[in-house]
Amino acid sequence: MTSGENRIALFIDGANLHAAAKTLGFDIDYSRLLKEFQSRGSLVRAFYYTVIIEDQEFSSVRPLVDWLDYNGFTVVTKPAREFDDGKGRRKVRGNMDIELAVGAMELAEHVDQIVLFSGDGDFRSLVEAVQRRGVKATVVSTISSQPPMIADELRRQADVFLDLVELQSKISRARDR
């Protein structure tokens, strides 16, 4: 490794990032997002984690997942689990936290910085663990919404907190007018 190199890995909690951007009123252009972080150092990997509902004829996330897969992202998916909520309503549950945490821990020794796109407070201990390994942790979410979409303990644990609003002009998709 050269002394000036900053090896970066992105870990995107797909549902969480989508919800934060939607709350702020914009869509993410993942091609622009990739370029933005490639300009900040040597991008080792960009992971995108999401749950997919298997039995749906058309899943709105599937075209995005396919595009990401062909355009520089490592996509990690798993099927959502369906259950009855006890009142006869069908509910879907799916969580990628463990997969994301394992991926970040496995890559920690190969990078200088992880960028976590999530506001989920459950990731505080992951951020703390990679920091103990000498890895800088940047967390991307937003405090510009009411209520904020990032857990306070996660924001405090991060080396750098980057509000999605600050990135909006660099990573938002142009809207058709």
The pLDDT tens digits of the residues spanning 129-155 come to 999 999 999 999 999 999 999 999 999
Q: What is the pLDDT of residues 31-49, one digit of tens each?
A: 999 999 999 999 999 999 9
State the pTM of this model: 0.90
Residue 134's Cβ-count burial label (10 Å; 0-12, 13-18, 19+) is exposed
Domains of the chain: 7-171 (3.40.50.1010)
